Chain A
Amino acid sequence: MFPEYDVIVVGAGHAGCEAAVAAANMGSKVLLITMNMQTIAQMSCNPAMGGVAKGQIVREVDAMGGYSGIVTDHTMIQFRMLNLSKGPAMWSPRAQSDRMAFALKWRKMLEDNHSIDFWQEMVSSIIVKNGVVKGVRTSMGIEIMSKAVVLTNGTFLNGVIHIGEKRFGGGRAGEKSATGITEQLTELGFEAGRMKTGTPARIDGRSLDYSAMEVQHGDENPTGFSFTDTPRLENQIPCHITYTNEKVHEILRTGFEFSPMFAGRIQGRGPRYCPSIEDKIDRFADKERHQLFIEPEGRDTCEIYVNGFSSSLPEDVQYKAMTYIPGFKNVKMFRPGYAIEYDYFPPTQLQMSLETRLVKNLFFAGQINGTTGYEEAACQGLIAGVNAHLAIHDLEPLVLARSEAYAGVLIDDLVTKGTEEPYRMFTSRAEYRILLRQDNADIRLTPLLHKLGMHNLDERMARVEEKLKNISLIRKHFTETGVSPDLMNGYLRELGSAPLNQQVKLASVLSRPMVSMHGMMDAVPALKHYLSAFDDETLNLAEIEMKYEGYIQKEREMAEKMSRLEDVRLLDSFDYHKISSLSFEAREKLSRLRPRTIGQASRISGVTPSDISVLLIHTGR
């Protein structure tokens, strides 16, 4: 009934979908298996894509040929560029999505790809022969063979949902959990752990009084995520902001004794940055109110997501507390918030390619690795899909450096240090964040993937080349063209910047704080005329590259120095306990985490510079 596939992807969430298209667009024949074809690319939690650090990841996924950016651009209902008042590295795109349209568009894009087949069933185990994965076995006992398998099981592995004292198996509200895989993998020698996350109630928008809330509109000039041509967003839908109060907190407290978290029924670690409302009240008792974002779930539905009100308290407590929130007096609930516990596999068991160390050609991506977030899952899925394809052709895996992509930071963090709580990306996790901007994701990554043979990148690659050419033209113009004081000084005085005494190059004016390219264009007609030939994206990139050149250069140098250490390999068989000149802590941590390179070792907390010196001596490179 089934041919032998190149790659089988188990799970069709954000990681699974990206893994399937990545492998397919690299040239593999792919089978995507999901327990329910109606829930492909579900947004299980927040109906939103992007945000600080996450938006940069979506741009990266798009630059590498993934679909998340394109799907989001087609189906968003609101777009904002966050952090515009901060430096360019902090600008972060965020979209409010139409949940149903998002899933539908994803499914359509998958179906349009003829290298992808579909099968609806639960996978109960993988087939392993001589340490190599050979396919999967389904709950009906069907064996489907493949050269590689990507597991993207999300929160489904032995998922247990908690609402107050009630608990039941499930991978998502209204969906069954998956069983069998954890047990089999543990038997094969994998270590499994338990994590917890939560989601707020969904409510009826018709029951809300928006006049009691603040309104939050999208950007006046919305852009988007994809580097390809996607439709411009029209008719944006606003979100609203409201707050909890003492009365709400008081009612919530009455439910504390039934809380599965406080009572200890949930053992798994939850994310600190995504606490439930009861956690916030408990930990920040002196805070009188907490902000809530009232987010529409789509254009054609009245369903509302209550962002900030994640809870696993009994449903009646959740409901009663909500009625005291301004604008919520007559609230009707569609379903209560809940907490979910699920299995994950500590990601230190992976290689940088996301292939497991134990079983060849078996890849993990997404929440199974202890991460959280659609964007985090999507980028892992893409990398796993690409590397599954490369692995079956015995090619070197794609490993992104920390200075190349947030995706590189994420995987390096996971594999090198592991994670104790659901891992979410923050810009502060990236030491080279000035390099990892949303505006240059295509320049950073498209050429890499294009060279590897990703089929659908020709258009994006041509644009990158065009952009690079234009940026160097603009740069040349700025460094070679002078500007006279009488043209420039009016603008400079306006900014409170010292006036010019003599003609200087345009570049030296641009490098001053507060001076912007657009301000200079307005002051110098000839410049405006020259730059009118270029599009906004190119101008923006050129401005950033010139204006912050010093900082960019500094980070590049640091990254290059670091990369020498990244090239020094550490063998898996290395016995750290035998090296008495290592500190005790270093011996213990290195034995446990088994870094692949000296560079990774240097990032492990407790491994000191002198330990690194000793390691360098011992690596007979």
Chain B
Amino acid sequence: MLYSFDDTIIAISTAPGVGAIAVIRLSGSRAIELADKYFKGKNLQKAASHTLHFGQLMTKTDEILDEVVVGLFKAPNSYTREDVVEISCHGSPYIQQQIIGLFLADGVRLATPGEYTMRAFLNGRMDLSQAEAVADLIAAESATGHQIAMRQMRGGFSDELSGLREELVNFASLIELELDFGEEDVEFANRSQLVELLEKIIHTIDGMIYSFELGNAIKNGVNTVIAGRPNAGKSTLLNALLNEERAIVSEIAGTTRDTIEEVLILEGIRFRLIDTAGIREAQDQIEAIGVRKTFEQASKASILIYVFDVTECSPEQVHEDLEKLNHPNEKTLVIANKMDLNPYAKPENYAIGSVSVDNIITASAIHKMNIPYLMSRITSLVKSGEVTAGSTIISNSRHLESLTAARESLHKAKENIQAGVTGDFIAMDIRNALYHIGSITGKIDVDQDILGTIFGRFCIGK
């Protein structure tokens, strides 16, 4: 499953982080066909090798994802000797992730470290001495990998995974017990017990998958958008959070016409704070673009901080804005700003519709009033859910891929149990799940563990 070399692979080929452009590389028999599927421009399948094509990359719903330049390298005249497509897109991590996601959804697989080179070698593009050099390269890569693994071990990832694996092996052994030892005088687990156990395991994986959000946040930063009506004090709030004057602050409404991005580090987590143009009927064209951009930004945000002026805004207006911004309630903070000017304003009055009073924070950005509390609320939004300090955080998208695949197999197993499917087929699903966990831990040999568990727990043998 893991070592198949005939599927099409994808990876970002440029260094991680934000550059002006990024190159995403596809290699494999379906590379050109799939690139063509989402590319609006010249027909890539008919284009010649070693040519560049400008065009647009479209999403599944036919929206423009980015303007890109696509390089075509047809087999065997490519690095891997397979069909290779290089997509040069804009450097935003968001765009890169979206593009990768597009192809993953079509059955393309993330490349393993050094896999392009490995394919190049296996397809006979390099001779042995070159390959030796590549092997050293991979060694260097795994040294880094080792460091990461060590770090993850300290984070408890490996502990938790082996705990998870153990639970799965336990589960598998209960299923296998019935299959291989149906004639024995032992008690078999009933179906509802099995479902219960499976739910527990799925819950553990859910927690780990959820933690990816935090892991990713630590690595790439959390997209945090500050939005509100003109002159609500968004830029002042940004400055208060950053403790310095960055955004252009003035009393003239509409000062911030473009979005401004700053980095704030809270409890080790990077927040990418994005200040936006105020929401109102735009007075001129430039401002109109700014307002439109605000909504765009808000739709991509992980966290939305909505700021309003308690001296000017009615609860209905706040409600209307939030409806328009349409951001998940649990990831939205509502700041009742300028409390110093209206100390008698009651925040609970603004709790209408989906906004709960808990999400409303009173503040005065200009006097830096209640800012530390706001900061703690922002971090808690990322760290909420299953993730608490000291628990496992996964940050590697390959791990996420494996865990998600494992979870899918387990859901299948659960459905099958409930549908009354026999144990041998359920065991197949469990083995799949174990395989995916094994692709992270490297423990792929399961039958010995399963049998060992059975013999350890049940009196087997006539």
Give the nearest-CB partner of B438 in chain A: A609
Which residues of chain B are within 8 angstroms of A514 by Cβ–Cβ distance?
420
Cα of A614 to Cα of B444 in the assembled complex, Å: 17
Residues of B within 8 A of A273 (CB): 451, 455, 460-461
CB atoms of B428 and A603 under 8 A apart: no
Contacts of A609 in B (CB 8 A): 2-3, 112, 439, 442, 444
Instruction: Compute the total of residue contacts between A and B using a CB distance below 8 Å.
Output: 161
B115 touches A604 (CB 8 A): no
With both chains docked as a complex, state the minimum distance between the C-beta of A535 and any C-beta of chain B, in angstroms: 25
How large, as a class, is the contact surface on chain A?
35 or more
Q: Is there contact, CB below 8 Å, between A272 and B131?
A: no
In the bound complex, do residue B138 and residue A617 qualify as a contact, i.e. CB atoms below 8 Å apart?
Answer: yes
B376 to chain A, nearest CB (A): 41
Instruction: Tell me if B373 is interfacial: C-beta within 8 Å of chain A.
Output: no
Interface residues of B in 124-148 (CB under 8 A from A): 128, 131, 134-136, 138-139, 142, 145
* Closest residue of B by beta carbon distance from A618: B135
A551 to B427, CA, bound (A): 12
A514→B420 CA distance, assembly (Å): 9
9-residue interface stretch from A247-255, A425-433, A469-477? A425-433
B460, A431: Cβ atoms closer than 8 Å: no
- Interface set, chain B 101-126, CB cutoff 8 A to A: 112-115, 117-118, 121-122
A431 to B113, CA, bound (A): 27
Which residues of chain A have C-beta atoms less than 8 A from B423's C-beta? Answer: 86-87, 90
Selecting from A61-69, A284-292, A312-320, the interface stretch reads A284-292
Q: Of the listed stretches A28-36, A138-146, A518-526, A557-565, name the one at the interface; the rest are far from the partner chain.
A: A557-565
In the bound complex, do residue B134 and residue A617 qualify as a contact, i.e. CB atoms below 8 Å apart? yes
When C-beta atoms are compared, the residue in chain A nearest to B416 turns out to be A513
B445 & A604 in contact (Cβ 8 Å cutoff)? yes
Contact (Cβ within 8 A) B183 A82: yes
Provided the pairs A272-B455, A613-B115 are in contact, do residues A434 and B138 lie with their beta carbons within 8 angstroms? no
A174 to B111, CA, bound (A): 63
The answer to whether A427 and B114 touch across the interface, beta carbons within 8 angstroms, is no
Chain A residue contacts of B425, Cβ below 8 A: 87, 434, 548, 551
Q: How far is the CB of B419 from chain A (nearest CB, A)?
A: 6
Do B131 and A87 touch across chains, with their CB atoms under 8 A apart? Answer: no
Query: In angstroms, how far is the closest chain A Cβ from the Cβ of B162?
Result: 14
Bitwise, B413-452 to A at CB < 8 A (1) or not (0) is 0000001111111011001000000010011110110110
Nearest residue (CB) in B for A608 is B442
| Complexed CA–CA distance, A53 and B420 (Å) | 23
Q: Is A580 an interface residue (CB 8 A)?
A: yes
Residues of B within 8 A of A89 (CB): 424
Q: Is A283 part of the contact surface with B, judged by Cβ < 8 Å?
A: yes
A555→B425 CA distance, assembly (Å): 11
Q: Output the nearest chain B residue to A308 by Cβ-Cβ distance.
A: B462
B455 near A610: Cβ-Cβ < 8 Å: no
Residue A621, interface by CB 8 Å: yes
Known interface pairs A431-B431, A613-B112. Does A581 touch B462 (Cβ–Cβ under 8 Å)? no
Residues from chain B with a CB closer than 8 A to the CB of A291 are: 184-185, 462
B420 touches A613 (CB 8 A): no
Are the C-beta atoms of B448 and A610 separated by less than 8 Å?
A: no
The distance in angstroms between the C-alpha atoms of A284 and B459, with both chains bound, is 7
A148 CB to closest chain B CB, in angstroms?
A: 32
Q: Once the chains are docked, how many angstroms separate the CA of A15 from the CA of B64?
A: 69
Query: Are B3 and A581 neighbours in the complex by a CB distance under 8 Å?
Result: no
Whether B459 contacts A290 by the Cβ 8 Å rule is yes
With A52-B180, A87-B425, A426-B180 already in contact, the answer to whether A274 and B3 are too (CB < 8 A) is: no
Q: In chain A between 414 and 455, which residues have their CB closer than 8 angstroms to a CB of chain B?
A: 417, 426-429, 431, 433-434
Cα A300 to Cα B122 in complex, Å, equals 65
A301 contacts partner chain B, Cβ-Cβ < 8 Å = no
B5 at the interface (CB under 8 A from A): yes
Contacts known (A287-B459, A564-B4); A86 close to B179, Cβ less than 8 A = yes
Known: A273-B461, A551-B425. A616 touches B118 (CB 8 A): yes
Is B36 interfacial (CB 8 A cutoff)? no
A293 to B178, CA, bound (A): 19
Min distance, Cβ A90 to any Cβ of chain B, angstroms? 5
Cross-chain contact of B451 among A87, A428, A603, A618 (Cβ < 8 A): A428
Partner of B420, one of A52, A513, A612: A513
Can you list 27 contacts pairing A with B, beta carbon distance less than 8 Å? A52-B183, A82-B182, A86-B182, A86-B422, A87-B421, A87-B423, A87-B424, A90-B179, A291-B185, A308-B462, A426-B447, A428-B176, A428-B447, A428-B450, A561-B4, A564-B5, A581-B136, A605-B443, A607-B442, A609-B2, A609-B112, A610-B113, A610-B145, A614-B139, A616-B3, A617-B131, A617-B138
A interface residue numbers (CB < 8 A to B): 46, 51-53, 82-83, 85-87, 89-90, 271-275, 280, 283-284, 287, 290-293, 307-308, 417, 426-429, 431, 433-434, 513-514, 548, 551, 554-555, 558, 561-562, 564-565, 579-581, 598, 602-614, 616-618, 620-621
